[in-house]
A and B are shown apart, each in its own frame.
Chain A
Amino acid sequence: MKKFIAIICVFILSYNLNAQDVSSKKWFSLGMRSTGSIFSDDGFGIGTGGQFRIQFSQRVNSDWFADYISININNKVKSDYAHIGWSVLFYPFKNLLYPNFFQPYILAGHCFDYNKKTAISFPDISKDRWGSAVQAGIGTHFNITERFDVSLTTQYMIHLTSEINFKEDNYGKIEFYTHSHSTLEGHLLTTISINYKIFRYGK
């Protein structure tokens, strides 16, 4: 029994020592992002936005983002998306901080999204909706300096809400409608972001 308690004590002690080391890696970062969006139905669009990161430990980080994406659907409809949400980044490989150039991660998270579709030739005809989405993917930091990194992320985002669709009549008039149920449609987002570690927090 004493041996067992001793092992537990050693384990807790080593965990605490390790935790102190880990806690020293907590950074608050700020950055900007550009996103390319590939939709199954809508086509390709680009977006712009920003994010901040709060690092929880050496292996776990979080990304709090907002972006605005604009898509041209066959020169008929403009689809604007606004996302605001967060992702958790997990670094599967230990000790890949700067000066290592590559720091890969997997990420998953949730966001709120707003979509507005507008008829390109008749901007007064539009329809919008609020919704929710989940996303997951992979990425890597390119550590340029100790505090500065460029990050490349590819993730798939699934909208948990009814999508807005449109139909065109014989005279070219666009009419929007929504499905009566959620369709689990989504888009593949590829994001390049630049980030700077502003300050450490915690002990």
Chain B
Amino acid sequence: MVNKVLLLFLMLHFSLHSQDENTFVKKGTIKAMATLSPSKIFSKNLSPFYLHGNLEYYLDKKISVSGDGYYFLGDLSNEKSTFNFHHSLFFGTNFHFIKNNNDFYIGFQPGIDISELYSFSSKTLVNPLISVNVGYNFFVSRYFNFFILMKNTYGENILIIPFNISDIRFSAGLGFHI
């Protein structure tokens, strides 16, 4: 109970503080986060989930460069997983529409997929990926923000078992910025 009161107090403090300034984003702002990210690969009805890490640097209030890493943790679907692992890396740019503490953005990130199929454990596969981001950040204080991100990736695993690895990934949680 005490923890909940403390949490509410902190949130109120942050929200009051947030009204003091229009935005916490400026040129040179660095934003980082780590969260769990579920996804859906529709071609094989798979639901991999990842540890998703992001590091973003605001070149100005409209443009940021962003690097994302997805570390494969497992598959939520009932079917036997196709992958031993299925990591991916992205690097690209987000274009931001900032108003007050709200930061809506769209982005484009080329990337690579690094996978190993379950039935062929010794072969690491690398495939190019294209991705589009749609996301929203809410800056609640000088150091904290809440975020939600949907990433649509497009790619194909070609070697051994060719199939479409395009997916939709969701991430949400608490982020940090300085």
| A residues adjacent to B (C-beta < 8 A) | 32-34, 46-50, 68-72, 75, 78, 118, 120-121, 123, 144-145, 147-148, 150, 192, 194, 196
| Most-contacted residue by chain B among A49, A72, A75 (CB, 10 A) | A72
Q: Is the CB of B130 within 8 A of A148?
A: no
Residues on A with C-beta less than 8 A from B110 are 32-34, 48-50
Q: Which residues of B contact A (CB under 8 A)?
A: 59-60, 62-63, 65, 91-93, 95, 108-112, 120, 123, 126-130, 154-156, 158-160, 162
Shortest distance from the beta carbon of B51 to any chain A beta carbon, whole Å: 22
Q: Which residues of B contact A118 (CB under 8 A)?
A: 159
In the complex, which residues of chain B have a beta carbon less than 8 angstroms from the beta carbon of A144?
62-63, 95
Task: Tell me, in angstroms, the Cα distance from A46 to B62 when the chains sit together.
Answer: 28
With contacts A121-B160, A123-B159 known, is A32 near B92, CB below 8 A? Answer: yes
Chain B residues with CB under 8 A of A33 = 110
A71 to B127: give the CA distance in the assembly, Å.
Answer: 10
> How distant is A133 from chain B, measured CB to nearest CB, in Å?
19
Closest chain A residue, CB of each to CB of B108: A194
CB-based A-B contact count at 8 angstroms: 75
Find chain B residues with CB under 8 A from A192 CB.
Answer: 108
A residues in contact with B59, CB < 8 Å: 147-148, 196
Q: Which residues of B contact A49 (CB under 8 A)?
A: 110
CB-based nearest B residue for A75: B162
Taking CB as reference atom, which chain B residue is nearest A68? Answer: B128
Expressed in whole angstroms, the Cα–Cα distance for A11 and B74 within the complex equals 70
Which chain A residues lie closer than 8 Å to B130 at the CB level?
34, 46, 48
Report chain A residues within 8 Å CB of B162: 72, 75, 120
Minimum C-beta distance from B18 to chain A (A): 26
Majority secondary structure of chain B interface residues (helix, strand, loop or mixed): strand
Contact between A120 and B160 (Cβ–Cβ < 8 Å)? yes
CB distance from A103 to the nearest CB of B (A): 17
Q: For residue A73, which residue of chain B has the nearest CB? A: B158
The reply to whether A72 and B156 form a contact with Cβ atoms under 8 Å apart is yes
Chain B residue, CB-CB nearest to A78: B158
Alpha-carbon distance between A3 and B110 when the two chains are bound, in angstroms: 59
User: Is B60 a contact partner of A147 (Cβ separation < 8 A)?
Assistant: yes
A32–B93 CB distance below 8 A = yes
Can you name the residue of chain B whose Cβ is closest to the Cβ of A79?
B158
Can you list 23 A-B contacts with CB-CB less than 8 angstroms, sorted by A residue number? A32-B110, A33-B110, A34-B130, A48-B111, A48-B112, A48-B128, A50-B91, A69-B128, A70-B127, A70-B128, A72-B156, A72-B158, A118-B159, A120-B158, A120-B159, A120-B160, A144-B63, A144-B95, A147-B59, A147-B63, A192-B108, A196-B63, A196-B93
List 9 tightest A-B contacts by C-beta distance, closest first: A48-B110, A48-B128, A78-B158, A194-B93, A34-B130, A34-B110, A72-B158, A148-B63, A32-B110
